Structure 1
Amino acid sequence: MSDRPAANTPERPAGAAAPLPEQAAPLPTARPAGRPFDPPEELARLRGQRPLSRLAFPDGHVGWLATGHALVRAVLADPRFSARQDLMHNPLPSPMNEWPFPPAPPGMFINMDAPDHTRYRRLLTGAFTVRRMRRLTARVEEVAAEHLDAMERRGPSADLVEAYAQPIPALLICELLGVPYADRASFQRQATTLNDHDATPEEVSAAYTGIYTYLGELVPAKRAAPTDDLLSELTAADLTDEELTNIGLLLLGAGLDTTANMIALGTFALLHHPGAFAALSAGPGIADTAVEELLRYLSIPHTGVRVALEDVELGGRPVKAGESVAISVLAANRDPAKFPDPDILDLRRNASGHVAFGHGIHQCLGQQLARVEMRVAFPALAARFPALRLAVAPEDVPLRTDSDIYGVRRLPVAWDGGDR
Structure 2
Amino acid sequence: MNAPVPPTPPRDFPIRRGCPFAAPEEYATLRTEEPVARVTLPTGRPAWVVTRYDDVRALLSDPRVSADIRRPGFPALGVGEQEAGARLRPFIRTDPPEHTRYRRMLLPEFTVRKVRAMRPAVQAIVDGVLDDMLAAPQPADFVASYANAVSTSVICELLGIPRENLEFFRDVTRVSGSRTSTAEQVAEALSGLFTMLSDLIAERRERPGEDLLSRLVTDRLLTGDLTMRELLSVVGITINAGRETTTSMIALSALLLLRRPDLLEELRAEPDLVPSAVEELLRVLSVADSIPLRVAAEEIRLSGETIPADDGVIGLIAGANHDPGRFPDPQTVDLRRDDNHHLAFGHGVHQCIGQQLARLELEIALRTLIQRVPTLRLAVPYEEIVFKHDSATFGVERMPVAW
Retained in 2: the 8 A contact 1:130–1:368? yes
Which of 211, 223, 240 does residue 227 from structure 2 map onto? Answer: 240
Distance 1:104 1:118, change over 3 A: farther
Paired residues for 1:262-341 under 5 Å: 262-303=249-290, 304-341=292-329
Distance 1:243 1:100, change over 3 A: closer
1:347-394: per-residue Cα shift (whole Å, max 9, x none)?
111363211111001001111111111110001001111122212221
Retained in 2: the 8 A contact 1:311–1:318? yes
Q: Which residue of 1 aligns with 2:354?
A: 366
Q: Which residue of 2 aligns with 1:346?
A: 334
Q: Which residue of 2 aligns with 1:253?
A: 240
Q: Which residue of 1 aligns with 2:126?
A: 144
Q: Which residue of 1 aligns with 2:197?
A: 215
- Distance between the aligned counterparts of 1:141 and 1:88, measured in 2? 45
- Distance between the aligned counterparts of 2:257 and 2:328, measured in 1? 20
Displacement of 1:150: 1.8
The TM-score with structure 2 as length reference comes to 0.90
1:244-296: per-residue Cα shift (whole Å, max 9, x none)?
11111010110111111110111001111132123222335311111111111
CA RMSD of aligned residues (A): 2.5
Which of 271-280 and 43-52 deviates more? 271-280
Distance 1:271 1:91, change over 3 A: farther
- Distance between the aligned counterparts of 2:73 and 2:288, measured in 1? 17
Which of 161, 164, 179 does residue 185 from structure 1 map onto? Answer: 164
Which of 50, 55, 65 does residue 71 from structure 1 map onto? Answer: 55
1:310-340: per-residue Cα shift (whole Å, max 9, x none)?
1122222211110111111111111101111
Larger Rg: 1
Paired residues for 1:163-178 under 5 Å: 163-178=145-160
Retained in 2: the 8 A contact 1:300–1:407? yes
1:49-68: per-residue Cα shift (whole Å, max 9, x none)?
23211222333433311000
Displacement of 1:41: 1.2
Instruction: Give 3-state SS (helix, strand or coil) of 1:110's partner.
Output: helix
Distance 1:333 1:213, change over 3 A: same
Q: Which residue of 2 aligns with 1:399?
A: 387
Retained in 2: the 8 A contact 1:66–1:325? yes
Which of 166-175 and 190-199 deviates more? 190-199
Distance 1:130 1:391, change over 3 A: same
Displacement of 1:207: 4.2
Which of 85, 90, 103 does residue 121 from structure 1 map onto? Answer: 103
Retained in 2: the 8 A contact 1:125–1:365? yes
Retained in 2: the 8 A contact 1:289–1:349? yes
1:131 and 2:131 are equivalent in the alignment: no
Which of 86, 101, 120 does residue 103 from structure 1 map onto? Answer: 86
Instruction: Give 3-state SS (helix, strand or coil) of 1:65's partner.
Output: strand
User: Alignment length, in residue pairs?
Assistant: 391
1:109-161: per-residue Cα shift (whole Å, max 9, x none)?
11111111111111111000011111111111111111221222225532111
Identity rate, percent: 40
Instruction: Give 3-state SS (helix, strand or coil) of 1:63's partner.
Output: strand
The TM-score with structure 1 as length reference comes to 0.86
Stretches of structure 2 that go unaligned for 5 or more consecutive residues are none
Which of 21, 31, 36 does residue 47 from structure 1 map onto? Answer: 31
- Distance between the aligned counterparts of 1:91 and 1:310, measured in 2? 16
Task: Indicate the structure with greater helix content.
Answer: 2
Select the structure with the greater relative contact order (CA < 8 A; seq sep ≥ 6): 2
